[in-house]
Amino acid sequence: MATLPTLPKRRLRRKLRAKERGAALIMVLGSLTILAVMLAEYQDQMSTEFASALSDRDALKAEYAARSAINLSRLLIASEPTVRAAAGLLMAAMGGGKAPQIPVWAFAPQMLGAFNDAEGAAAFKGLANLDITQGEGLGLDGAGFEVKIVDEDAKIGLNNAGRSSFGARDVGRQLLGLIGGPQYDPLFERRSDSGEYANRQDVCAALIDWVDANQDLENCDPNAQGSMSSPAENSYYRNLPDPYSRKNAAFDSLEELHLVEGVGDDFWATFIDPDPSDPAERPVSVWSSGKININTTNPRTLLSYICAHAVPGTPLCNDPTGQKPAAFLTTMSVLRSITAGIPIFRSARKLRETLEGAGSAAAAPGTGTGTTPGTGTGTPAATPPAPSLTGGLDLMQMAGLEPIKFLSPNEFDKGLSLESKVFSIYAEGHVRQGKRETHVRILAVVDFRKAPTVQDLLSQVSAGTPAGTPAPTPPTPDAAEDETAGISGALVPSTAGRVVYFRVN
């Protein structure tokens, strides 16, 4: 029997050593592969954590830049009475009357630019022609903000419907003035998002019923008296796939209107938020104090208020072509751009008379009775009025419209104001690092009703403490007294107003 040949021992040992080296090499390569994977994963994890830390850092800086814009805006609004007092002295010297509220908030981006980034500083320099590069403590390093202050008292206040039956009637009238134009008929002749039809009165009643505390179904008919007693006010909401009850309380935010029957996407885009990029164009508000400021309201809201109080059949409010409303809106927009923020109307009566075709848009400074020179008898003289802000032109004539007749001139005047007290401040803080940008948006609604002015505080201090008397050192309170003092101190009215709504995005 033949036997297999055996390899020499030396050759066998070489093969064994080669196999051992191959196995060792495989183990080394495997270890290096595992280490490379672990290192890559660790590097990715550290890069992610580092990027997250940078993002959190930039978000914090952007948020506080936006908060700075909010606080600076509150101080700017609080300074308006001081600016108005100075303007009053100037008007008195020129023979004019009392100075109206001056919308300093309309120039917030330029006036607050000294505390902003380089772009803001350039805007401030363009407004005041001042160089702030040598100033100390001005500007933001590595961050900036954009700010817009919106006058909420220039809008239809929906929450006023829940304050009284008269408030519900007025809000219903204004809502019908907003949505009542025949050019909007197609919007109410098709099914809503829920598959049902909703006419103007239905949507108007649903908005008021959401706010008021009673269980009656609002009629929303300007010619009807009172409300209709009905138990079916909640039937729509209870039949939804995810049912809920109507609130019977004030709206907390504008987005809450999406919950109301009849407020679909088309209604929202047409009447609630026609221009999402410009909140000043919104005709309605849930924070308004009540009356509409005629000098700051947008032309569309003013038109809805006029149509709410005009006699039925007024051509401006019943033009199916939409040409007459468009002419009025264009005229008002041009007039406001010409005046550049200067208050146009000096009284609600003056506005009404202008719409009735009885006068120009602005009150003429220096008008009134005087004495005939040289007579000494005090006989009223026919002093020619000074030119108004519109150059003496009649507003309705400028728009090519017929004069308007109102149902009740007194009711028309009572719903208007010359002063605003509630403001929404939209602030966006940003941080730019290379190609990365971080943005944080803050919305703050500030109520300046009952807010003392700087002059009020100075008067209190001067009346309570004689000049030159050092202020007494307050006693140190204990823990219980300190807590009570903190609560009472938070309720003290501030010159910077009271924040009633705050949201960070």
The tens digit of pLDDT for each residue in 110-120 reads 989 889 888 88
pTM: 0.77
**Residue 3 reports pLDDT greater than 60:** no
Residue among 225, 226, 203, 201 at smallest CA distance from 216: 226
Contact 170, 317 (CB under 8 A): no
Give the pLDDT mean for 354-372: 54
* Domains along the sequence of the chain with CATH: 155-283 (1.10.40.60), 291-363+390-420 (no CATH)
Provide the 3-class DSSP secondary structure of residue 148. strand
Find all residues with CB under 8 Å of 70, minimum gap 6, and list them. Answer: 147, 425, 427, 442, 444
CA distances from 154 to 182, 287, 299, 490 (A): 24, 11, 10, 28
Q: Where are the beta strands (DSSP E) in 348-462?
A: 416-417, 422-433, 436-447
Q: Which residue has the higher pLDDT, 332 or 374?
A: 332
Q: Is 380 exposed, middle or buried (0-12, 13-18, 19+ CB in 10 A)?
A: exposed
Amino acid, res. 362:
A
Smallest CA-to-CA distance from 110 within 77, 146, 74, 138 is with: 146
The pLDDT of residue 365 is above 60: no
Mean local confidence (pLDDT), 227-255: 77
CB < 8 Å & 24+ apart, contacts of 313-320: 314/404, 314/405, 315/401, 315/402, 316/401, 316/402, 316/404, 317/177, 317/180, 317/181, 318/181, 318/182, 319/181, 319/182, 319/183, 320/182, 320/183
Residue linked to tokens 């000096």: 346
CA gap 150, 155 in Å, rounded: 10
Give residues with Cβ within 8 angstroms of 228, minimum separation 6: 216, 217, 218, 219
Distance between CA atoms of residues 421 and 154, nearest Å: 10
Q: Which residue has the higher pLDDT, 409 or 481?
A: 409
pLDDT over 90 for what percent of the chain? Answer: 26
Q: What is the pLDDT of residues 262-313, one digit of tens each?
A: 888 889 999 999 999 999 999 999 999 889 999 899 888 999 999 999 998 8
Are residues 129 and 113 in contact, defined by beta-carbon separation less than 8 angstroms? no
Cα torsion angle, 199, 201, 204, 208, sign: negative
Q: Where are the alpha helices (DSSP H) in 286-400?
A: 299-309, 323-339, 348-355, 395-399
| Structure confidence at residue 158 (pLDDT) | 93
Q: What is the pLDDT of residue 22?
A: 79
pLDDT at 461: 67
pLDDT in tens, 453-490: 877 777 766 765 544 444 445 555 555 555 555 566 55
Average pLDDT, the chain: 79
Return the bridge partners of 427, or none.
147, 442
The confidence score (pLDDT) of residue 387 equals 37
Instruction: Give the length of the chain.
Output: 505
Residues 170-217 pLDDT 10s? 898 899 989 988 888 888 887 666 666 778 888 999 999 899 887 777
Q: Residue 258's pLDDT band (boundaries 50, 70, 90)?
A: very high
> For residue 21, which amino acid is it?
R
How confident is the model over 50-93, as pLDDT tens digits?
888 888 999 999 999 999 999 999 999 999 988 888 876 666 55
**Residue range 335-350, pLDDT digits in tens:** 888 877 678 888 889 8
> Is residue 149 scored above 70 in pLDDT?
yes
pLDDT at 369: 38
Among 349, 358, 355, 348, residue whose Cα is nearest residue 416: 348
